[in-house]
Amino acid sequence: MSSLAHLLPLTVLLPITAGVLAPALFHRRGLACWWWALAAAILTFATTVTLWRQLQSGSTISYPLGGWPPPYGIELVFDGLAALMLVLCALSVLILLAARRYVEATVPSSRQSLFYALILINLGGMNGFVAAADLFNLFVFMEIFSISAYALVALARGPVAALAALKYLLVGAVSSLLVLLAVALLHAQTGSLNMSDVAGLLAQAEAPGASALALGCLVVGFLVKAAIFPLHFWLPDAHASAPSPVSALLSGLVVKMGIVGLVRTRILFAEAEIVPLLMLDNLLVWLGVIAILAGAVLAMVQRELKLMLAYSTVANMGYIALGIGLATPSAVSGALAHTVYHATIKTGLFLTAGSILLCTGLSRVDDLRGLGQRMPLTSGALVLGLLAATGIPPTAGFVGKWQIALGALQAGQAWVIGVILAGALLTLGWAIRVINSLFFRPPARARVITANEAPVSMLVPSVLLAVLAVSAGLGGAILLGLVEPLALAIVGADHDH
């Protein structure tokens, strides 16, 4: 084992320690705290880049904490799935960059350090979650990023945000309890918590009913976290009413943790071969299909920009669930690629929507008429992001959907392609409404006429992510090549169904 492996736990310790120190070091000094948080996030990103290069040059990195070999101690792994950390950290850096002005304008100075502390703790929790190879450890990190996420939603003042945060908290707590119950069930059957160890021992336990219950609890728990229809009902209010940088964080990154949990669950149960996974796959396909259509239709009937984006997240999580459920190599690699691409697109869209909200105070699409003249760069970034969200080639949204469609053909379910196309057309429908309002209608509000272009610290992440969103599809082959081994590992373990 190379000494570089010691960096793996640091991806958790570094942001969390920085977050814990933030209120102590920077009470009432919001700007200094922002620099501190940004530096910590960049350092964490650099750590993940080093780990990733190590992963590219060799095999997966495993770290036994305290030197205790698994299953006696806790193990962290940096495998293909954990490489998602790279995206988590990179986007968190951009979110923090954009958050400064927003926080200065909306969060009272005595609480700014608490805001940054929660963002950093959230990042550390997500990093730990994607790298966890131990079931209880997975649960602990899920609690860390969940609790910080509830609080971040509630930081936006107002009755809608408070109610949304409460709903998010209650639903999230139920889903966490289901996951905990499943961990207990698996531990009771195997006496172990390490995932690959559990997978090996589960078949010997000869308790298919208890295993099926554990699988069911894990799936429902993670479907809630991933906001897959019909368990998405907490998402639109929470993501739309949160402070915009937080919306970007939740819709871009936190919701993807449910997918990571699902994939880890699927790998474990495919290895254990005690419960047939065909039903799970069919469930994911159907829920995905309904989510794509329902999410797109619901996005279409919204009037508020951020609510449209939130429902579009519901639809896009449907695409990812669909891809995983189809369980062919192309569909799963499409789903994994779409996880990364959607994170990029939606983070950019919410950050851009945040700039508009901060500069104009307006959130309804009809009120934003003519904003293209006053805030051309921000509006342009929004348009590019929306085009990418519809999945027009060669934008980032295209690659995943194309791969999922190919996978549907391989799986012999050609009708799914119709759903994918319908979802894209519906998305195009509301995207055109927004674009039309921004660029081709005369201003209807005085605040649009007096609005100025967003400050540089908000423009840079918005524009960067928008450019990435439309051009990253060109690098689709590279990303698909990177996720392919992981996709094969996910579907390869269960050829027999």
Partner 1 sequence: MRNALALLIVIVLAGLMMAGVSQLPPPGSPDGAVHRHVAAHYIDGGTEAGGAPNLVTAVLLNYRALDTYGEVVVIFAALVAVLAVGLSGHSRGPRRQPDELPVSPVVDRIIRLLAPFIALFALFMILEGHVLPGGGFQGGVVLGALLILLSLVLGPRRIRRMLPTPALFWTRAIAPLVFALTAIAGLALAGWLFALPEPAWLRELILVGLELAIGIGAALALVGFYLSLEADHHD
For residue 442, how many other CB atoms are within 10 A of its CB?
9
By the rule CB under 8 A, 440 interacts with partner 1: no
Q: Which is nearer to partner 1, 27 or 441 (CB)?
A: 27
Residues 6+ apart with CB under 8 A from 248: 91, 95, 98, 346, 347, 348, 349, 350, 351, 354
Binding mask 23-62 for partner 1 (x = CB under 8 A): xx--x-----------------------------------
Taking the complex as a whole, the smallest distance from the CB of residue 95 to partner 1 amounts, in Å, to 17
Q: Indicate the helix (H) or strand (E) that contains 62.
A: strand 61-64
By the rule CB under 8 A, 261 interacts with partner 1: no
SS3 486: helix
Among 40, 144, 294, 345, binds partner 1 (CB under 8 A): 144
By the rule CB under 8 A, 135 interacts with partner 1: no
Taking the complex as a whole, the smallest distance from the CB of residue 140 to partner 1 amounts, in Å, to 4
Residues 6+ apart with CB under 8 A from 133: 62, 70, 74, 75, 76, 77, 194, 195, 196
Q: Which is nearer to partner 1, 99 or 365 (CB)?
A: 99
What number of chain residues touch partner 1 (CB under 8 A)? 64
Residues 6+ apart with CB under 8 A from 2: 54
- Which tokens belong to 125? 């929790």
Region binding partner 1 by CB under 8 A among candidate stretches 96-104, 212-220, 330-338, 434-442: 212-220
By the rule CB under 8 A, 117 interacts with partner 1: yes
Among 52, 136, 286, 439, binds partner 1 (CB under 8 A): 136
Residues 185-204 contacting partner 1, CB under 8 A: 185, 187-193, 201
Backbone φ and ψ for 78, nearest 5 degrees, come out as -110, 90
- Quote the CA–CA distance of 156 and 20 in Å, as a whole number: 21
Backbone φ and ψ for 199, nearest 5 degrees, come out as -60, -40
By the rule CB under 8 A, 205 interacts with partner 1: yes
Q: How many helices (H) and strands (E) does the chain have?
A: 21, 2
- Which tokens belong to 84? 């998602």
What's the CA angle centered on 252, arms 76 and 455, to 5 degrees?
120
Residues forming contacts to partner 1 in the complex (CB under 8 A) are 6, 9-10, 13, 16-17, 20-21, 23-24, 27, 63-68, 71-74, 76, 108, 110-111, 114-115, 117-118, 121, 124-125, 128, 136-137, 140-141, 143-144, 147-148, 150-151, 154-155, 165, 185, 187-193, 201, 205, 207-210, 212-214, 216
